[in-house]
Structures are given as structure tokens and as C-alpha cells.
């Protein structure tokens, strides 16, 4: 299989697999579908949907994505053993375009201490794994794990052997974020020029960000012949994370004079993808994060503001619109009608059902009564909240009351509907949030443990909308709930209730 078409870089998104391995980033099956559908809308080339053999839940999610998401190739991860490969093949069977991604460690330290194998044994295992994959699919990717700490000659021999066995993509992972751009680029140049049959496979870059070099390393690989980059939305992933998809895409677009190669991504969908992953996982994006951070297109310096007003190119190397951010934002208020609200929702990339739109509009009116101005970010947050609510929700917070002060014990009282029946409870705590969480626990008789609470402002100012993310754990299962309100206590309460509802539906 020859690959004459090397004029574009394939985007292999592993948000749902490697990204989900980030502590606290667990996603429900429906949330994975939601992200996968948006990745397809972005025109991502490959979605790595998961690791099917790892659990029945993983298998089911991969199978459902394969069945419901069209456009991208759907990939499943498998160790270099028949059982893993068969599970992966079965999970991706419904997909119109399918790939099995198998891997095996190749560095001396991994082969000796993790595998307990000699290089010759690893070589045979890798070839056999690729051959088994080819029994099920034509599109096979092989990854020599910890490639950047592997011996170059053995890595060359291994790549050559798996291509001969039928691998169509060879991925060179920087598994522990160890390499530097110069070294990584040189490695790709060496392999592509020295591996017999290298023209029969696409070479791929997969970098981790332990030294903060993941994007730079990936771009160096592209400069030296890599034509696939494995990455995640917002750069989420294990430890310091993976290569950030948005950074690679916009680097290639902005510096096409340097790289001379592009992706096929609809960049205008980047901002929504970032927001979607942030709200679903509860992983907050730092304000100064490149491309998608809140400050990415903000100008506070007087000199910068003056320059941008005269000519945007003085201080902006890309436009906010190019990543899906509307710089000329429409500010809505309490007098805005349904038409204006719906127009803004659609412009922000949502496709609301009538019931979702009405519920979100009513929430908008509540917020508009508390805020002077309601911005795009506020609307995006409240609509995301409403669209995830379900008629199947077991718990609905009807009202709450909190008293607190410097010389008084924080006390919370709540009224909550449990499957249609109202229950009231009260509790004290170390603070107002702790007291209301304890009141909810008493009312729901929940033994779930709070492992993480993140509160972040959606917009600026004293009347800013706050977003809360609550992570609960019970019996080895972890769920994340989200809530937003101009009242931080209400946002936290809604997030806690949201997480409990996820437990009840699992």
C-alpha cells in the first residue's frame, strides 16, 4: 500500500483514550459520543475511541462510537496479544472506516524490566501482532512504546519488520516526554530514510508534555516527514498531558510558509471543542493557554490595544474567528427575546431542540436579572448545563438557603426532589459549600466521596457566571458533575446534584 498523498497532516485524536487517562477526566458513554460527534464535525481524520479489552464499559463505548459516528476512521487500542486485538476488532466492527492500533515496548529499560524479553523476542511479537490485526482490518497502526529511548538500529529493524508484516501507520511515541525537537526531528529523518518500505506507511508523532515540548516536538517531526500527529483537545492526558491538537493545527495554518503542509481540520470548530472537553472533564483551561485560553486574544497593554485598533495584525497572528471565537460579541440582556437568544445559541455552534432551547432561555432570563450583560461565554455555559439535564434525572434541587459568617457555624437547608418526591434536609459544615454538600448527602443518603471541586469564573466582573465541577467517587467509579450560576453556592450545588444523577444512571 503506497502513500503518494503526503501533502497534508492527518490528525489522530486520542482525547477519548489517552486524554481520558488524565486523573479526574473520566467521561460517561454519552459524553464520549458527544465529543466524538464534534470531532467528526471538525473533520478529524482518526478518533482513537478507547482501549476495548480494558473493561466492558470501554468496549461498549468504543462499539457505540463505531456505530454512531461517521466520517473519521475509528481506532481501538490493543496490546500485542491476540485477546486484546480480537476485542478491538469486535468493538470497531460497526465502523465504516476502522483501524486497530497495537503497541509493544521497544526501549532497553522497558524490554528488560516491563516485558522481561530480549529484542529478538520483541521483534517476533510485534510482527505477529500486526499479522493478527491484518486478519481483521486493512488499516493497522503499530507503536514501539518508548521509542525515543530505544536504540536507533533496533527501532529501524522493528519499523521495517512491522511494515513488511502489513502495518500501514508507524507511530514513534515519545511516551515519557523525554526528547527534544532536534532529536525527535532527526529520528524521523533517520527512520524514513533508512527503513526499507517506509514509503508504504505513514509515520506518526505521539508526544507527551513532561518537559513542555510536546507541540514543538510534533512540529519537528512534521518538518522531517511525519504525516500524522496524535494529540488531544486542550492537551489533556497522563501526567503533563499530550500534544495539544489546537496548537499543532493553528501552527501549521499560521506558519504555512515554514511548514508547507496543512491539516484538513475545520479550525472554526476549535473553540467549541475546547469548551466541550473542558466542561465534560472538569479540566480547567489555564487563561494563558495558547489558542483556547481566555486571554489568548485579550489585549490589556495600552500599546497593544492601540496597535490592534489600527491594524489587528500588529499583535494578532491569527484571528479569533479562525478558531471559532466571535470577537464582535453580541451582548444580550433581560430585554432580549427568544429570537435573539436562539440566534446566538446557533452562532455558538449548538443545534437546540425546542425543549432545550426553552429551558435554556428561562435560565438565561434568570441570569439576565442578576447580571447587567450576558456574554457568549455565559450563554455557552448555561446552554451546556440545560442540554445535559434529562427527564431521567433522579435528583432535582428545588431550593436552598445558607447562613454563614465569621463567628457563626455555616448552615445549609435544602429542598430536593427525589424521583418526584420532595425532601428537606439541613446540615452544618466547615464552610457554606461544605454545609450544603453535607445537606445533599443527608437528603440523598449518598455515600459517594468528594475527590475534587473546581470553581472558575466564566466571564469577568463581580457579577460573573461561575462554573463548578465536582468529582465524586464510589465503589471504584468516578463521575464528574457540572453546574453554573452567578451564585457560587448554587453552581456547586448543581454540580454535586449533576454528579449524583450520573451515578444513578450508570
End-to-end CA distance of the chain: 43
Three-state DSSP at 473 gives strand
Q: Determine whether the annotation assigns residue 18 to a binding site.
A: yes
Residue labelled with grid coordinates 450545588: 493
The H or E element spanning position 342 is: helix 338-347
Q: Which residues of the chain have pLDDT under 70?
A: 1-6, 23-24, 298-316, 326-336, 349, 370-373, 375-377, 382-391, 459-463, 504-506
Ligand-binding site membership of 30 (annotated): no
**How large is the angle between the packed helices 354-370 and 376-388, nearest 10 degrees?**
130
Residue 482 is predicted with a pLDDT of 83
* Distance in angstroms (rounded) separating the CA atoms of residues 143 and 162: 10
10 Å CB burial of residue 69 (0-12, 13-18, 19+) is: buried
State the pLDDT at residue 309: 54
Q: Give CA–CA dist 10/12, Å, rounded.
A: 6
Q: What is d(CA 144, CA 141) in angstroms, rounded to the nearest whole number?
A: 10
Radius of gyration of the CA atoms of the chain, in A: 25
Q: What is the pLDDT of residue 328?
A: 43
242 is in an annotated binding site: yes
pLDDT given at position 388? 61
How high is the pLDDT of residue 294? 76
Q: Which position has the grid cell 457555624?
A: 409
Q: How far apart are CA 223 and CA 256, in angstroms?
A: 11
* Dist. CA 233–CA 277, nearest whole Å: 7
Report the phi/psi class of residue 78: left, alpha or beta, with left for phi > 0 and alpha for psi in -120 to 50. Answer: beta
Q: What is the predicted pLDDT for the residue at 255?
A: 95
What are phi and psi for residue 21, nearest 5 degrees? -75, -5
The predicted structure's pLDDT at residue 315? 57
Phi/psi-derived region of residue 212, left when phi > 0, alpha when psi is between -120 and 50, beta in every other case? left
Average pLDDT taken over every residue of the chain: 88
Strands 98-105 and 140-145: parallel
Cell of 55: 473493561
How far apart (Å, rounded) are the C-alpha atoms in residues 270 and 233? 8
Quick: pLDDT tens for 84-123.
999 999 999 999 999 999 999 999 999 999 999 999 999 9
Per-residue pLDDT tens over the stretch 303-312: 444 554 566 6
Joined grid coordinates for residue 413: 437547608
| 326 annotated ligand binder | no
CB 170 within 8 A of CB 135: no
Amino acid at each position: 500500500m503506497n502513500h503518494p498523498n503526503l501533502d497534508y497532516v492527518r490528525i489522530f485524536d486520542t482525547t477519548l483514550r489517552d486524554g481520558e487517562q488524565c486523573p479526574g477526566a473520566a467521561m460517561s458513554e454519552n459524553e464520549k459520543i458527544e465529543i466524538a460527534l464534534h470531532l467528526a464535525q471538525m473533520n478529524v481524520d482518526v478518533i482513537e475511541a478507547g482501549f476495548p479489552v480494558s473493561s466492558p464499559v470501554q468496549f461498549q463505548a468504543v462499539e457505540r462510537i463505531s456505530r454512531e459516528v461517521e466520517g473519521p476512521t475509528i481506532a481501538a487500542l490493543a496490546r500485542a496479544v491476540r485477546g486484546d486485538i480480537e476485542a478491538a476488532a469486535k468493538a470497531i466492527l460497526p465502523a465504516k472506516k476502522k483501524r486497530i492500533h497495537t503497541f509493544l515496548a521497544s526501549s532497553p529499560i522497558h524490554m528488560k524490566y516491563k516485558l522481561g524479553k530480549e529484542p529478538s523476542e520483541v521483534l517476533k511479537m510485534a510482527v505477529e501482532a500486526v499479522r493478527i490485526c491484518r486478519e481483521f482490518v486493512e488499516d493497522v497502526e503499530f507503536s514501539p512504546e518508548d521509542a525515543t529511548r530505544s536504540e536507533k538500529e533496533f527501532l529501524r529493524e522493528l519499523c521495517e519488520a512491522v511494515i513488511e508484516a502489513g502495518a500501514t501507520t508507524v507511530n514513534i511515541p515519545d511516551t515519557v516526554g523525554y526528547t527534544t525537537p532536534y532529536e525527535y526531528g532527526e529520528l524521523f529523518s533517520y527512520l524514513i530514510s533508512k527503513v526499507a518500505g517506509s514509503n508504504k506507511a505513514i509515520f506518526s508523532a505521539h508526544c507527551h508534555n513532561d518537559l513542555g515540548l510536546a507541540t514543538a516536538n510534533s512540529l519537528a517531526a512534521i518538518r522531517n516527514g511525519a504525516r500524522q500527529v496524535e494529540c488531544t483537545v486542550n492537551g489533556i492526558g497522563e501526567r503533563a498531558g499530550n500534544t495539544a491538537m489546537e496548537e499543532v493545527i493553528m501552527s501549521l495554518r499560521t506558519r504555512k510558509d515554514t511548514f508547507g503542509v496543512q491539516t484538513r481540520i475545520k479550525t472554526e470548530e476549535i473553540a467549541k471543542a475546547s469548551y466541550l472537553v473542558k466542561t465534560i472533564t472538569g479540566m480547567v483551561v489555564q487563561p494563558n493557554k495558547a489558542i483556547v485560553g481566555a486571554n489568548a486574544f485579550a489585549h490589556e497593554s495600552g500599546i497593544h490595544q492601540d496597535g490592534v485598533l489600527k491594524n489587528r495584525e500588529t499583535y494578532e497572528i491569527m484571528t479569533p474567528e479562525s478558531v471559532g471565537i466571535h470577537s464582535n460579541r453580541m451582548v444580550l440582556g433581560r430585554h432580549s427575546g427568544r429570537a435573539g437568544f436562539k440566534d446566538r445559541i446557533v452562532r455558538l455552534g449548538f443545534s437546540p431542540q425546542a425543549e432545550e432551547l426553552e429551558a435554556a432561555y428561562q435560565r438565561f432570563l434568570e441570569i439576565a436579572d442578576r447580571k447587567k450583560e450576558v456574554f457568549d461565554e455565559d450563554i455557552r455555559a448555561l446552554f451546556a448545563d440545560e442540554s445535559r439535564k434529562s427527564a431521567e434525572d433522579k435528583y432535582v434541587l428545588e431550593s436552598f438557603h445558607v447562613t454563614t459568617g465569621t463567628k457563626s457555624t455555616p448552615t445549609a437547608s435544602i429542598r430536593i426532589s427525589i424521583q418526584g418526591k420532595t425532601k428537606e434536609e439541613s446540615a452544618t459544615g466547615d464552610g457554606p459549600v461544605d454545609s450544603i454538600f453535607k445537606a445533599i448527602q443527608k437528603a440523598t443518603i449518598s455515600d459517594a466521596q468528594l475527590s475534587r471541586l473546581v470553581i472558575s469564573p466564566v466571564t469577568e466582573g463581580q457579577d460573573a457566571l461561575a462554573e463548578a465541577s465536582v468529582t465524586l467517587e464510589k465503589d471504584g467509579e468516578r463521575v464528574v458533575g457540572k453546574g453554573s450560576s452567578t451564585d457560587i453556592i448554587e453552581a456547586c450545588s448543581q454540580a454535586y446534584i449533576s454528579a449524583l444523577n450520573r451515578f444513578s444512571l450508570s
